[in-house]
Amino acid sequence: MEVGVASGAGIFIFSILFFLSSAEISPKVGVNYGLLGNNLPAASRSVQLIKGLKAGRVKLYDPNPEILEALSGTELQVSIMVPNQQISNISRSQKLSDQWVKTNVVPYYPETMIRYVLVGNEVLSLYDQKQGWPDLVPGMRRIKGSLRKFHIHKVKVGTPLAMDVLESSFPPSNGTFRSDISVSVVKPLLQFLNRTKSFFFLDVYPYFPWSSQPTTLNSTTLSLRVGI
């Protein structure tokens, strides 16, 4: 769902993220902060708008220095993202991974409350980049190793996935991952998340199934309740 924010033409995209792991779950809403648009408000103004929404988390699609500085000293928990096009190179080079963390995490942490480094965005939905799928988990391991090298132990590493990673999702008891990724990518991904006590990030957009079947899906079906 796209929501326009007053005072400028900035667009913040809101989505619901499920965090499925043994780590702490926060009930506060999170805001996805993108930079694709015209006449965007300054980073400092954007941060004030986000705080005005009483959000608890913000996700950056790239580690923008100005935004990271503006988030310093706030109580917002921050997720930053390794761009999709950098994953393969990072997966093959610890030096590149170390440099990425040194540039994008070390100068801002902990004054800016970086809590998650997300490696890529819905990578397993990009069939034109299928050759890079096997690099996802190795890239995550590299980034985790770099965080440890710089003695940053409280930042989790994950990757947001879209609902199409599921081959079957209804009823929930029949949920299965797609056969083309279940063994080669998802299994090592889940093992990594379990070992590092990180999160399984899933982007869910309930509006789309509702809009296609408004008479057959009711509010109970689309309700997202903690503990279910």
Sheet containing 57-60, strands listed edge to edge, beginning at the edge strand earlier in sequence:
2-4, 11-13, 30-33, 57-60, 77-82, 114-119, 156-158
Model pLDDT for residues 193-211, shown as the tens digit of each residue: 999 999 998 887 766 666 6
**In the prediction, which pLDDT does 144 show?**
98
CA angle at 224 for the pair 203 and 75, rounded to the nearest 5°: 70
Domain range for 38 is 2-222
**In the prediction, which pLDDT does 77 show?**
95
Q: How many CA atoms lie within 13 A of 6 on its CB side?
A: 2
Instruction: Confirm whether 227 is domain-assigned.
Output: no
Q: What are the DSSP calls for 78-118, one per residue? A: EEEEE-GGGHHHHHH-HHHHHHHHHHHTTTTTTTS-EEEEE
**In the prediction, which pLDDT does 228 show?**
43
The count of structural domains within the chain is: 1
Instruction: Confirm whether 228 is domain-assigned.
Output: no
CATH code, 46: 3.20.20.80
Sheet containing 160-162, strands listed edge to edge, beginning at the edge strand earlier in sequence:
16-19, 201-204, 160-162
Point out the residues of the chain with pLDDT beneath 50: 1-23, 226-228
